[in-house]
Amino acid sequence: MREIVLDTETTGINPRDGHRIIEIGALELMHHLPTGKELHIYINPEREIDDGAVAVHGLTSSFLSDKPVFAEIVDEFLSFIGEAPLVIHNASFDMGFINAELDKIQRPPLPMDRAIDTLAMARKKFPGAQANLDALCRRFEIDNSHRDLHGALVDADLLASVYVELLGGRQPGLSLGADSKTDIPVAVITADSASSMLQIDRDHKPVRPIRPHTPSDEEQAAHDAFLAKLNDPIWLKT
């Protein structure tokens, strides 16, 4: 199943007050695993940015002055998200801004039921606890030390990890790799009791590396001594 983890940064709080999107960050998940496909766009909002918003994300009007307007990037954005569900933290905020931008250029809105709201998931799973992105990163021990300011792609990347944890998390010993020929993510389970690995192939069948079967000299001597103690073993009968 394909999903898109999405975040935006804006000029202010409410699109009804004329505030606009200035940054979009999105990344693709396939069966809850990142594929490496990303979309990151800065947008000229054609208006000033509230000081409070600049303090949150650090994006200024001068930085955005030469960036494309939303109408110029909308096709790229819609093509990237396709028909996939959208994983968003506080979905009503981002979806409200996206649909306001689409309305300005007479494009149909995105249905709200496409959004998977991780804020609602977190509040349901941990009632009464803080549910912002930083708090969830702390809860799940996700490293967000590089997040000095909000950034759409940085936040989308962190949210992808939080989303997996909210779904139940990765099983102990489960790490992620990719098929070298197809770049399709595959699971690799490391056995705690040995250095061997159990891989899941593309048909979802476990494949264990071949074990060495040649006995050591000590093992062979012990085996021969055991056989010598047997009385009239059946394999010697003709």
Q: Is 85 exposed, middle or buried (0-12, 13-18, 19+ CB in 10 A)?
A: middle
Is 150 among the residues known to form the active site?
yes
φ, ψ of residue 67 to 5 degrees: the values are -85, 160
Residues in Cβ contact with 71 at an 8 Å cutoff, skipping those fewer than 6 apart: 104, 105
How far is C-alpha 171 from the geometric centre of its chain's CA atoms?
A: 15
Q: Do 116 and 91 touch, CB atoms closer than 8 A? A: yes
Cα separation of the two ends of the chain: 63
Residue 105 DSSP label: T
Token digits for 21? 């999107």
- CB-based burial of residue 144 (10 Å sphere; 0-12 exposed, 13-18 middle, 19+ buried)? middle
Instruction: Give the Å distances, CA to CA, from 66 to 6, 22, 191.
Output: 23, 12, 53
Question: How would you class 38 by CB atoms within 10 Å of its CB: exposed for 0-12, middle for 13-18, buried for 19 or more?
Answer: middle
Set 150, 204, 213, 223: catalytic member: 150
Instruction: Give the active site residues.
Output: 150
